[in-house]
């Protein structure tokens, strides 16, 4: 009996050590918190982008999967599975957890006229909702198509996206309807994993946290918007959130208490004749960044605006961190006078400190700009003004290029990394930089400044451009 107890004790010790090792390994594999919250409000958990965090491991676009031990199954009260269906003037609802009002799958095709679609159920898995459409009011996947004309979509539950196509070859087209989502994590529309969304004359309104009205998420997606009004008022719910391609024409995008637009990674937002407004103090009106959450591939974020108007409500008009960016404004009416036009800097939130600066290439074409350009030591801004563009503001360690029709109105002592302004330099004076008595210094050791020949130049209305002392 004593011998039995001895070996039993040894077995018990081995079992405890083995179990502890397994438990520790499992904990090590759990994602380390949520990915960085894109638009910088403090105090929202660990901070997560409008679209979510780590994806459910191994979850196929059309089936079930799991995240940290949580499984889910996609389903709908009204399901079209591999069939072609057309209906008019019907209501579609769901009040159950994780259940869509409409689910179209396996190359199914659904056409609806004037539907009333509403859901009240919550999600049990926020990531599955953002990546795979769990609990979305209208969900399509596996190369299916949905067309809805007229009517409305309303969701109140958490993670309840209004309409979400997920997967290559899957598309949802909407025209002449209104979408309202009020739950946290409830986006108006979202495309993921290569899905495609087309909106014409659609009004989209969201009011919950992390619920952008127009969004893409993991695996990219393409959203095309023509006309309509896009409104958001929830924390971390920018009017436009792109981890893919978002194109907007002739629309109104208005955000209150959140960014107007956010781009993550190597993705884009392109606006034509669109009114854009919004912003918060820390991350500004438009933010371009990389969270390294896995939602977006690393690369250059591209923001283009042709025509229309832009009103940055708070913070810099553009804030860039932990990524490269190209920003182009052409024939845009700028509304308001922000202190900062562009800020490029690293933060403690995204990337490795000391290596997470912002790189900005900025083009202004026939645009009147107000606000300063500001960088930290690991960031850079290169601004080009052409075709009658003007800038009124200071420049902190950035480059500027002016054509013969453009000008810079200096509002404080400034520092240039380089100046390209051959048309404005006449002998020892510069005609299209209005100095207002301030001193602008430049780096004479930068090869881009060779044409300045280390000279000091007088500026219009007083002030000087002078080489930086060693």
The domains of the chain, with CATH numbers, are 144-467 (2.160.20)
What average pLDDT does the segment 8-24 reach?
A: 37
Stronger pLDDT, 27 or 109, i.e. the higher one: 109
Q: How wide is the angle at C-alpha 167 spanned by C-alphas 242 and 238, nearest 5°? A: 20
DSSP 233-291: -STT--SEEESSEEEEES-EEEESSS-SEEEESS-EEEEES-EEEE-BTTTBSEEEE--
* Per-residue pLDDT, 70: 56
Q: What is the mean pLDDT of the chain?
A: 87
Residues 210, 181 contacting (CB under 8 angstroms): no
* Torsion angles phi and psi, residue 468, rounded to 5: -70, 135
Residues in the chain: 470
Q: What is the pLDDT of residues 150-169, one digit of tens each?
A: 999 999 999 999 999 999 99
Tell me the β-bridge partners of 311.
277
Distance CA 464, CA 437 (A): 7
Half-sphere exposure of 52 (CA within 13 A, CB side): 31
Q: Looking at the predicted structure, is the pLDDT value of residue 39 above 50?
A: no
Beta strand ranges found along 279-394 (DSSP E): 286-289, 300-306, 309-312, 318-321, 323-330, 333-334, 340-344, 358-365, 368-370, 372-375, 380-386, 390-393
Structure confidence by residue, pLDDT tens digits, 433-459? 999 999 999 999 999 999 999 999 999
Give the mean model confidence (pLDDT) for residues 394-410: 97
Residue 470: pLDDT band by 50, 70, 90 thresholds? low
Q: Give yes or no for residue 25 having a pLDDT over 50.
A: no
- Asked whether the beta carbons of 458 and 426 are under 8 A apart, the reply is no
pLDDT value at position 293?
81
Nearest to 161 by CA among 177, 178, 175, 181: 181
The pLDDT assigned to 385 comes to 98
Q: What pLDDT band is residue 52 in, cutting at 50, 70 and 90?
A: very low
Of the candidates 272, 275, 289, 253, the residue with the CA atom closest to the CA atom of residue 50: 289
Nearest to 293 by CA among 40, 49, 44: 49
The answer to whether 182 and 208 have CB atoms below 8 angstroms apart is yes
Rounded Cα gap, residues 100 and 128, in angstroms: 13
Reported as a pLDDT band with limits 50, 70 and 90, residue 292 is: confident
């Amino acid at each position: 009996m004593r011998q039995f107890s001895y070996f039993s004790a040894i077995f018990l010790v081995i079992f405890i050590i083995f179990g502890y090792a397994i438990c520790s390994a499992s904990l090590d594999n759990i994602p380390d918190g949520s990915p960085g919250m894109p638009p910088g409000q403090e105090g929202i958990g660990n901070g997560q982008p409008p679209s979510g965090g780590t994806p459910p491991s191994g979850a196929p676009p059309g089936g079930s999967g799991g995240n940290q031990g949580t499984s889910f199954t996609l389903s709908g009260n009204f399901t079209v599975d591999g069939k072609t269906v057309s209906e008019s003037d019907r209501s579609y609802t769901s009040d159950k957890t994780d259940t869509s009002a409409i689910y179209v799958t396996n190359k199914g095709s659904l056409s609806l006229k004037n539907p009333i679609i509403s859901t009240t159920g919550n999600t049990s898995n926020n990531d599955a909702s953002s990546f795979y459409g769990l609990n979305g009011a209208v969900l399509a996947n596996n190369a299916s198509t949905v067309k809805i004309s007229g009517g409305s979509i309303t969701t109140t539950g958490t993670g309840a996206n209004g309409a979400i196509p997920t997967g290559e070859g899957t598309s949802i087209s909407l025209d002449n309807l209104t979408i309202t989502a009020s739950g946290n994590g409830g986006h108006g529309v979202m495309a993921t994993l290569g899905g495609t969304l087309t909106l014409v004359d659609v009004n989209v309104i969201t009011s919950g946290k992390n619920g952008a009205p127009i969004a893409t998420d993991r695996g990219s997606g393409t959203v095309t918007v023509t006309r309509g009004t896009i409104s958001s008022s929830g924390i971390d719910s920018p009017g436009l959130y792109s981890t893919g391609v978002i194109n907007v024409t002739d629309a109104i995008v208005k955000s209150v208490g959140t960014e107007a637009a956010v781009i993550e990674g190597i993705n884009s937002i392109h606006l034509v004749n669109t009114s854009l407004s919004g912003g918060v103090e820390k991350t500004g009106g438009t933010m371009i960044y990389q969270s390294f959450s896995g939602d977006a591939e690393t690369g250059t974020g591209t923001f283009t605006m042709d025509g229309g108007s832009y009103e940055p409500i708070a913070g810099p008009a553009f804030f860039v961190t932990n990524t490269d960016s190209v920003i182009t404004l052409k024939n845009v009416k700028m509304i308001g006078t922000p202190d900062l036009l562009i800020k490029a800097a690293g933060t403690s939130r995204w990337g490795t400190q000391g290596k997470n600066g912002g790189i900005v290439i900025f083009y202004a074409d026939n645009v009147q700009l107000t606000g300063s350009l500001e960088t930290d030591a690991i960031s850079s801004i290169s601004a080009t003004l052409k075709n009658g563009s003007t800038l009124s503001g200071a420049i902190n360690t950035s480059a500027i290029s002016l054509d013969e029709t453009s000008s810079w109105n200096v509002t404080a002592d400034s520092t240039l990394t380089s100046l390209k302004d051959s048309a404005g330099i006449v002998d020892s004076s510069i005609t299209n930089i209005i100095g207002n008595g301030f001193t602008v210094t430049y780096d004479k050791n930068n090869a881009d400044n060779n044409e300045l020949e280390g000279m000091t130049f007088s500026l219009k209305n007083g002030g000087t451009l002078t080489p930086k002392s060693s």
